Structure 1
Amino acid sequence: MKTGAKIVTLTLIAAMTAGCTAADRLSQVGKEPPLTAIQDPRTTPGYRPVQMPMPTPEPEHYNANSLWRSGNRAFFQDQRAKRVGDIVTVVVTIEDEAEFDNSSQHSRSDTSNVGAGGALGTAIDTLALPASTTSSALASVDSSANFNGSGSIDRKEELKTTVAAVVTQVLPNGNLVIEGRQEVRVNYEVRELIVAGVARPQDIQSNNTIDSKKIAEARIGYGGRGQISAVQQPRYGSQVLDIVLPF
């Protein structure tokens, strides 16, 4: 498919998508953004159980005439999350700061000359070239290129909040797969916080909380949807042009 046809196809697809989105937005004029219904995370599209390398299972040892509960970390029953469906509070703490400054410079020049001498040069001078031109300099090619690039990043991010997550899976080694979603609607804007990952039962505190820094394969998302978020996004036409235009 030629480039022009590709651009037309992408433009039509973007126009159809924009039309569907515009219709949805028009149906919500004057209304608050709807909240997502509570559902089992395992039933959402794209959900896949987590599979990770597991150690060799070790048999449990029981002591006769003992009041100690097998598998507990305290004398009394443990109230911390440990089974599918249990709830654990995740303390999200993100303090990220990065600063980079890079620059690059490239230059190149090239000169080439093509000519002919001897009997061949004499024949060319006599038969093919004008009187003011000689075959010793038939062609001369000069080229040069210069490139200067620079970039800098100065970023600082900070997020502190808590969210309750549900244990969706218990791995063979006892680690817990957790996933939590929180939505808060203020006026016409919905803020979403998503937390997912793998947690060790040993990292869960006695008050049934765990720090987000101790969650392996952590996936933390914080964003929003509504009137303010829609205004902050470029129009669909601008986004399509930024993708398809080569210059």
Structure 2
Amino acid sequence: MTMLRTSLRHGLTAALLVALCAATPALAKKKKAPIQPDPDYAPTLSMPQPAPAVPNGAIFQASNGYSALTNGARAAMVGDVLTIALVERTQAAKSNGANTERNGSIGLTPPTTGPLSFFNPSDVAAGGNTSFQGTGTAQQSNSLQGQITATIAEVYPNGTMLVRGEKLISLNRGAEHIRFSGIVRAVDISAENVVPSSRVANAQIIYGGTGEIARASQKGWLQRFFEIISPF
């Protein structure tokens, strides 16, 4: 019995050392490496307009980047800057319940005379009942507010535009990043060149951070290790 306990203790110690060795480089890397810009959200620069192949003598030239006077300063071409107002707010709630009950009984009265008279009424009586009651609730809510300025990456033939960009914020206790991409319509762009995120199609919003505050909200590596091997 003593040898078994010793073996278990040595095995647990070895497992903890392996987990510690695996977690230490990741923690060191997480502390030293700052948030790096994502190439997928890099700003798109405007392309220079090509000169007309054959001047036709007209005042209007399609290669001059024509924009209607009613557009004002609204973004409309690849490389233009557009501000996205983050107004995300979602809330969901769900609840259910069930309650069942079933009762049954049976009883026979034996004759008072004859070969079966020795039975008592309680000997031939039976009954049973079952009941079940269950409830469940679930609630979830999310909220994100702020602004991020992105650039137009592509302009499609129907007038919609693909915008994407990111914002990196380094604070004294950590760093935060916001990455955004989606498709907007020209009619949804306000005079201030702002589009609410609720008007963006296929919106992808990534918000995260690193630092002391982010680490404090996470479980320790030893607790995660025990949760993996725990059978409960």
Per the shorter chain, which TM-score range? 0.5 to 0.7
Segments of 5+ residues of structure 1 without an aligned counterpart are 1-14, 43-64, 114-136
- Partner secondary structure for residue 178 of structure 1: strand
1:204 aligns with 2:198: no
Q: Which of 133, 146, 150 in structure 1 is aligned with 2:132? A: 146
1:102 aligns with 2:102: no
Q: 1:36 maps to what in 2? A: 36
- Aligned residues of 1:68 and 1:75 also touching (Cα < 8 A): no
The structure that has the greater radius of gyration is 2
Q: 2:155 maps to what in 1? A: 170
Report the AA paired with residue 203 of structure 1: D
Check 1:149–1:227 CA distance in 2 against 1; reply closer, same or farther (3 A cut).
same
Computed over aligned residues only, the root mean square deviation of the Cα atoms, in angstroms, reads 4.6
Q: 1:73 maps to what in 2? A: 68
1:246 offset after TM fit, Å? 6.8
Check 1:241–1:143 CA distance in 2 against 1; reply closer, same or farther (3 A cut).
farther
Q: 2:119 maps to what in 1? A: none
1:214 offset after TM fit, Å? 1.5
Superposed CA deviations along residues 108-157 of structure 1, whole A, max 9, x for unmatched, are 558799xxxxxxxxxxxxxxxxxxxxxxx9xx996845232132537463
Task: Say how many residue pairs are matched.
Answer: 192
Could you tell me how far apart the structure 2 residues matched to 1:27 and 1:40 are? 22
- Aligned residues of 2:164 and 2:181 also touching (Cα < 8 A): yes
Q: 1:90 maps to what in 2? A: 84
TM-score, with length taken from structure 1: 0.56
Report the AA paired with residue 72 of structure 1: S
Identity %: 20
1:90 offset after TM fit, Å? 1.0
Report the AA paired with residue 36 of structure 2: T
1:173 offset after TM fit, Å? 1.5
Check 1:186–1:240 CA distance in 2 against 1; reply closer, same or farther (3 A cut).
same
- Mapping 1:1-247, distance limit 5 Å: 19-27=21-29, 29=31, 34-37=34-37, 39-41=39-41, 72-74=67-69, 79-94=73-88, 96=89, 98=91, 100=93, 102-107=95-100, 109=102, 144=130, 146-151=132-137, 153=139, 155=141, 157=143, 159-236=144-221, 238-239=223-224, 247=232
- Aligned residues of 1:41 and 1:168 also touching (Cα < 8 A): no
- Partner secondary structure for residue 36 of structure 2: coil
1:217 offset after TM fit, Å? 1.8
